[in-house]
Structure 1
Amino acid sequence: MAEIKDPENTIIMTLKDGEVVIELLPDVAPKHSERMKVLARAGKYDNVAFHRVIEGFMAQTGDVEHANMEDGWNPRRAGTGGSDLPDLPAEFSRLPHDRGTLGAARSQNPNSANSQFFINFNDNHFLNGQYTVYGRVIAGMEHVDRIQRGEPPAAPDRMMSVKVAADV
């Protein structure tokens, strides 16, 4: 387990293979960091599927409206929804989309991010300045690397639980 310096801005995501520790970046993207904590504390990310996982690129999840495994997995709808909270304005920065960073998924509209996010498998610098970076994996990236691939995967992996470290 990584050393957690700021428990209020650290996420512990439990996957099938183990825990992933994510350091949020509230100094860079305060609205996105806060949204992840609000949804995690409400249990909205628990049992949500990774609905778009592309080898050598990224693993996307967070569709709390359509990808909750308890509410029924609907591959045709997964990735099309968000939360019942308003969309977020873009918080672009100079932080690069390096391996292990969290990016806010969105539609063509830069100000349409809501609950979905992706974790970069590789350095994806072509995304720089186009998607908000608001966190980075500080431990457990090997578990992210083992997420089932597919768009959507036939039998998707899911976030079993997502908690704010300060609450654990």
Structure 2
Amino acid sequence: MKLLALPLFAFALLAAKPAPVEAPSVLPINAPAEVVANPANKLMLQLSNGGTVVIELRPDAAPNHVARIQTLVRQGFYDGTIFHRVIPGFMAQGGDPTGTGEGGSKLPDLKAEFNSLPHLRGTVAAARAEPEDSANSQFYIMFGPKGSLDHNYTVFGRVISGMDVVDRIAPGEPPAAPTKIVHASLGDGSAPAAAAVPPAAQAPAPAPAQGSTPGN
């Protein structure tokens, strides 16, 4: 499946008046106590830039998207993937095993779970193609607020630790030396153990030759 670049589609949303969208029920910005108490709702991303990002997942807002992330993490799917589209001040997008922005997992695409959680600094949401029900494995992390994306993408979490690490993700579309997810794990430990990686191998890999995205 060929995914449209997130910023390209976001621009389309601004350029054309979107169809009216029914506002979802308002969810609390902070996760409910039962969500916080479940260690499986903590996603840790160990990055090749030397830091770890901790994301609090929100199954109360997007249960199917959170379940998908947890499933893929437990399979080791994200280990070794890169952030292939990183726009300073906007967002960092990753989760594509091909590193091109056009790939996903072998699992079926997900039905949209648009909700009231806003796009703020640290928001984590599902990237998708133009069809609403086309999210699969790709996600993005917001560097700053962007209200025009609210209710048009499925927000499923927020960074609660390591935003300084997110800020250090290599920029580019694609980056010349992309930042890599060395290892993704959940707070309950239900993920493959991280392999021992020699320091030289932890250096960001060069961008794949076919990494350019449509619209560039």
TM-score (norm 1): 0.89
Question: Counterpart of 1:46 in 2: which secondary structure?
Answer: coil
Question: Counterpart of 1:149 in 2: which secondary structure?
Answer: coil
Q: Equivalents in 2 of 1:140, 1:5: separation in Å?
A: 20
The answer to whether the aligner puts 1:18 opposite 2:51 as a matched pair is yes
RMSD: 1.0
Cα-to-partner distance string for 1:69-118 (whole Å, 9 max, x where unaligned): xxxxxxxxx10011000000000011101110101000000100000000
The answer to whether the aligner puts 1:61 opposite 2:102 as a matched pair is no
2:114 is aligned, of 77, 92, 98, to 92
For 1:9, give the aligned amino acid.
N
Alignment-derived partner of residue 126 in structure 2 = 104
The answer to whether the aligner puts 1:42 opposite 2:64 as a matched pair is no
Question: Counterpart of 2:55 in 1: which secondary structure?
Answer: strand
Equivalent pairs, count: 154
Question: Counterpart of 2:188 in 1: which secondary structure?
Answer: helix
For 1:115, give the aligned amino acid.
S
Question: Counterpart of 1:166 in 2: which secondary structure?
Answer: coil
Question: Counterpart of 2:40 in 1: which secondary structure?
Answer: helix
Alignment-derived partner of residue 157 in structure 2 = 135
Unmatched runs of 5 consecutive residues or more in structure 1: 68-77
Q: With CA pairs under 8 Å and 6+ residues apart, which has the higher RCO, 1 or 2?
A: 1
| Offset of residue 18 of structure 1 | 1.1
Unmatched runs of 5 consecutive residues or more in structure 2: 1-35, 191-216
Question: Counterpart of 1:11 in 2: which secondary structure?
Answer: strand
Alignment-derived partner of residue 164 in structure 1 = 186
After TM superposition, what 4+ stretches of structure 1 lie above 3 angstroms from structure 2?
A: none
| Offset of residue 124 of structure 1 | 1.2
The answer to whether the aligner puts 1:6 opposite 2:28 as a matched pair is no
Structure number, greater radius of gyration: 2
Alignment-derived partner of residue 79 in structure 1 = 101
2:139 is aligned, of 117, 120, 131, to 117
Question: Counterpart of 1:12 in 2: which secondary structure?
Answer: strand
TM-score (norm 2): 0.70
Question: Counterpart of 1:62 in 2: which secondary structure?
Answer: strand
For 1:151, give the aligned amino acid.
E
Percentage of pairs with the same residue: 53
Select the structure that is richer in strand.
1
The answer to whether the aligner puts 1:126 opposite 2:158 as a matched pair is no
